Structure 1
């Protein structure tokens, strides 16, 4: 079994980082995520919010892995989280539900506000293989290296969502919009709406503008 832990500080306050964390899918840094669905959400008597999400991921095996070690490239992962708005903390655990004999990955994340008003993220992982055949350590090492890459890309994805939330807030407040990320599709000039196009009650055609349009532009590439 292998263990891994890492901490990182976001300059943003806890509420916006927590929001970005739960909005992190989809993003260009998580192309391996196929779907993410909430299957339960309840509020406890103490005021915390418990959420369970089911995530479908796609992964690739290393070349040295025996053929047929797993039946398919997709696998289900369960994510359980607790948001404490009073204590300003988010605790989240994820673990794979399939192919656990080959490799079981259990990850825990804690988001908490520090004394400077910034947000500390602490990620821990426990990786275990029970496959045998002399491949246990090799599989666990592969899982550890892949998890380290995942942590960095996950952080990049959250940072991207944070930037979009800031931009959306500035646009709402009438402030200047920050830079446009190059990896999103650029907005093309709008053609005049045809006379038969559906319009709102104000008589102005609906236009999906702002940072979320660029997300949809990225999604439409698939």
Structure 2
């Protein structure tokens, strides 16, 4: 059995990072994620949000793996999380449901704020193989190295979504302009230029700009669209 633990700090507050954690798929660093579906979501009597999601991931085998060791390269992963908005703690555990005799990985993630307003993520994982045939340690070592590589990609992907979430919250701040105030109406602030979908037509200076939510959706949709060869 192999164990690994790592902590990482995000510059954004817990409220943004915890929201981004649930919105992290799709992102440009998660091409191995095929699908992500919510199975259940409910509030506990104490006010925590409990969510169960089913995630389909795809991967590749090392060249030294015996032929036919697994029937397919995809695996279902179940993710169970609890968000305590009062204590400002997000706890999430996940484990693979397929190929568990070959390799079983259990991951635990905790997100909580630190004293300077940033967010700390602690990740722990245990990896164990019951395959035997003299390959147990080799499989576990491969799984550990693969997890470390994916953890870096996961961090980069979450940072991208954190940035989108931060900018969307700024863009969705409602304000009163001088002329609008006189007419009794109010508008959303303009979204940053970097939020615009490059493939989308640019609006004229007279036309109202697209809402930030549409811009975010366009970016995420562009990442998830299959690219032509």
Change in CA separation of 1:46 and 1:191 when aligned onto 2, cut-off 3 Å: closer
CA distance in 1, matches of 2:203, 2:48: 47
Counterpart contact for 2:96–2:104, Cα < 8 Å: yes
CA distance in 2, matches of 1:30, 1:92: 18
Q: For each residue in 1:178-202, what CA deviation from the matched residue of structure 2 results, as whole angstroms up to 9, or x when unmatched?
A: 646xxx962342699xxxxxxxxxx
CA distance in 1, matches of 2:51, 2:223: 27
Counterpart contact for 1:82–1:90, Cα < 8 Å: yes
CA distance in 2, matches of 1:13, 1:167: 13
CA distance in 1, matches of 2:191, 2:99: 49
Q: Which runs of 5+ in 2 are unaligned?
A: 174-188
Aligned to 1:15: 15
Residue pairs, 1:119-138, within 5 angstroms: 119-138=119-138
CA distance in 1, matches of 2:203, 2:161: 29
Q: Is 2:192 the partner of 1:177? A: yes
Counterpart contact for 1:187–1:214, Cα < 8 Å: no
Aligned to 2:183: none
TM-score by length of 1: 0.86
TM-score by length of 2: 0.84
Q: Which runs of 5+ in 1 are unaligned?
A: 193-203
Aligned to 2:199: 187
Aligned to 2:222: 217
Residue pairs, 1:105-124, within 5 angstroms: 105-124=105-124
CA distance in 2, matches of 1:210, 1:155: 23
RMSD: 2.2
Q: For each residue in 1:39-65, what CA deviation from the matched residue of structure 2 results, as whole angstroms up to 9, or x when unmatched?
A: 111211111111110111111100100
CA distance in 2, matches of 1:56, 1:212: 22
CA distance in 2, matches of 1:121, 1:60: 27
Change in CA separation of 1:178 and 1:122 when aligned onto 2, cut-off 3 Å: farther
Q: CA deviation at 1:162?
A: 1.0
Aligned to 2:40: 40
Counterpart contact for 1:9–1:121, Cα < 8 Å: yes
Counterpart contact for 1:167–1:211, Cα < 8 Å: no
Counterpart contact for 1:185–1:218, Cα < 8 Å: no
Q: CA deviation at 1:218?
A: 2.4
Aligned to 1:198: none
Q: Say which SS state the counterpart of residue 213 (structure 1) adopts.
A: helix
